[in-house]
Amino acid sequence: MKLWEKGFTIDRKIEQFTVGNDREIDLHIAKYDVQASLAHAVMLESIGILNSKELEQLKNGLEGISNAIENGEFIIEDTFEDVHSKIEYELTKTLGDVGKKIHTARSRNDQVLVALQLYYKNSLKEINKRVKELFDTLLNLAATHKDAVLPGYTHLQVAMPSSFGLWFSSYAELLIDDVHVLNAVEKIVDQNPLGSAAGYGSSFPIDRNLTTKELQFSTLKYNVVAAQLSRGKSERSIASALGGLANTLARFAMDICLYMSQNFGFISFPDELTTGSSIMPHKKNPDVFELIRGKCNKIQALHTEMLLITNNLPSGYHRDFQLLKEHMISAFEDLKNILDIFNYAIQQIIVKDVDLTDEKYKYLFTVDSINNLVVEGMSFRQAYQEIGSQVQNDTYKPDLGKPHTHIGSMGNLCLDEIRAKYPK
């Protein structure tokens, strides 16, 4: 069944190419299409297109479909083009002509738009919830390991002393920036496009304020052409926000892979969280974090894909938009899983004691040594040259005890202040 059927059979090859894997993808938005259909039916009854009995029948029919979706019993057979045609078929099969009225005053264009907006809005909330859980975990780890020294690196060369408290809380604070962007994007998708129909509105006296209230959007996309033009623009904005979060997680995962290697040896994980080699029995591979890194890098590429698919399209609907759904939904589902497994695994991290007397850390405290000379009255440039000369002559003796106390340093992590910054 197709919502646009006109009594002829489309070429099978053409159908397979144009439908693609929409049926599988649409299972993610099925419950949102039901929600939108219910709100649309309520609105149709309010303007006299449906009577109260018909509305009650449609409510019951949609509730049955919603229960099937919730229980995993809802499928979209290959005789249907998409979730929208399947739902209308089920309503018509159960309710007869009443089911055929559900599509009055709407198009499949605004039908998929509103279902996607609801999916995006809910998924952004789920992402935000998971980010907050990871944020809390990282600050707790920072507090637990605030005094554990961690060598800091620039250019992958030993640089200055850092700490595990700094490391954990640095990524926690970066997550705040990502959340600000996610919240901004949520405002973009929190606009009701239902009622724009095929992109040019309807001659029916529909009540768009009513559907906005029923679907709990904060506002609506007033201009019907703007509603249609938002297809692609919303996806580009979301992809950019998801990519920013993915960048933070990918960099953190890279740190973990690096610090787990024997050449660094700063951290470890229980054997149950790592994998081995088929021929090297000593291996403990950080496969989870390597996959997180790879998946996050893939998500960061999504914005370019969304941009190139929609760039320079003229106003109005185009079938190109169908190609946005698969990887947008995939990115959301992947990122939810990534955040879940990241939070689960990082809670089990094993922080190791770092032997700062090891020869390779000999110059970790040169800057502190310079500062000691400055405090004693020497100019910074003269102190720099003095310590530099000691390094060149191999006479430098590190001073391991210089405290770092300024705001945001290893001796003053400001964890409460970082926690207070998190968006409410």
- Do 42 and 134 belong together in one domain? no
Q: Among residues 307, 334, 351, which one ends one of the domains? A: 351
Q: Among residues 330, 351, 372, which one ends one of the domains? A: 351
- Do 228 and 365 belong together in one domain? no
Give residue-wise pLDDT tens across range 250-262. Answer: 999 999 999 999 9
Q: Let me know if residue 119 belongs to a domain.
A: no
Q: What's the CA gap between 79 and 185, in Å, rounded? A: 36
Contacts of 416 (CB under 8 A, 6+ apart): none
- Do 88 and 136 belong together in one domain? no
- Do 67 and 135 belong together in one domain? no
The pLDDT mean for the chain works out to 92
Q: Let me know if residue 184 belongs to a domain.
A: yes
Q: Is 155 a catalytic residue?
A: yes
Q: Is 277 a catalytic residue?
A: yes
What are the beta bridge partners of residue 157? 154
Q: What's the CA gap between 333 and 133, in Å, rounded? A: 17
Give residue-wise pLDDT tens across range 56-74. Answer: 999 999 999 999 999 999 9
Q: What's the CA gap between 240 and 365, in Å, rounded? A: 40
Q: Let me know if residue 118 belongs to a domain.
A: no
- Do 346 and 368 belong together in one domain? no
- Do 284 and 142 belong together in one domain? yes
**Total tally of structural domains belonging to the chain:** 3
- Do 95 and 138 belong together in one domain? no
Which member of 84, 123, 145, 155 is catalytic?
Answer: 155
- Do 187 and 317 belong together in one domain? yes
Q: What's the CA gap between 262 and 186, in Å, rounded? A: 43
Give residue-wise pLDDT tens across range 368-422. Answer: 999 999 999 999 999 999 999 999 999 999 887 789 999 999 999 999 999 999 9
- Do 413 and 320 belong together in one domain? no
CA dihedral 97, 9, 33, 184 (to 10 degrees): -150
Instruction: Check which CATH number belongs to the domain holding 50 and give it.
Output: 1.10.275.10
Whether the pLDDT of residue 241 is over 70: the answer is yes
- Do 343 and 374 belong together in one domain? no
- Do 403 and 385 belong together in one domain? yes
- Do 137 and 184 belong together in one domain? yes
Its domain, for residue 169, covers: 124-148+161-195+222-351
pLDDT at 379: 97
Instruction: Check which CATH number belongs to the domain holding 298 and give it.
Output: 1.20.200.10
Which member of 218, 277, 315, 379 is catalytic?
Answer: 277
